[in-house]
Amino acid sequence: MSKDDNYYSLLECEPNSAPEKIKENYLRLARKFHPDKNSGQLTEKFIKIDKAWKVLGNINLRKQYDENCFRSELNDGIIIYARLRKEDLKFDENLTCSYSCRCGNEYLIHKEYLDVECILECSECSNNILIK
């Protein structure tokens, strides 16, 4: 889930924000992005805010959402040390790229093995890097 699509970010609040605060933010943002204020155009932002509110404004749905977020953050217990974008990697003539781990070890990334998204394990410690 990208940060922009996080319901809490959309409503400019935190996962520990009080329900009143979330409601207050929703009302303020909904007014700001309301079609009436945007020459009758239903903006994508308004739709997203509305969707976020439908979940975070409901105590049960919010709880469920929190649990899902927590689970995806844990990523099944894998420690993600860094998230890299394939476009940002610089490969040498052997089509490999190295990236330093926190432990000092190097991750060797082979261009030809990169899928859409892959996770590389450090051979020295429990960290991993995620390449998108």
CB neighbours (10 Å) of residue 40? 8
* Residue 122 CB partners (closer than 8 Å, separation 6+): 81, 101, 103, 105, 107, 128, 129
Provide the minimum distance between the beta carbon of 103 and Zn ion in the complex, in angstroms, as a whole number.
Answer: 3
> Is the CB of 49 or the CB of 101 nearer to Zn ion?
101
Provide the minimum distance between the beta carbon of 48 and Zn ion in the complex, in angstroms, as a whole number.
Answer: 37
Q: Which of 101, 109, 120, 131 is close enough to bind Zn ion by CB under 5 A?
A: 101
Nearest to 65 by CA among 131, 119, 11: 11
Binding of residue 82 to Zn ion (CB under 5 A): no
Stretch that binds Zn ion, among 20-28, 58-66, 67-75, 93-101 (CB under 5 A): 93-101
Q: Which of 10, 11, 22, 122 is close enough to bind Zn ion by CB under 5 A?
A: 122
**What is the rounded CA–CA span in Å between residue 1 and residue 127?**
21
- Which amino acid, 109? I
**What is the rounded CA–CA span in Å between residue 128 and residue 121?**
4
Provide the minimum distance between the beta carbon of 92 and Zn ion in the complex, in angstroms, as a whole number.
Answer: 21
Stretch that binds Zn ion, among 21-29, 31-39, 101-109, 110-118 (CB under 5 A): 101-109
Binding of residue 124 to Zn ion (CB under 5 A): yes
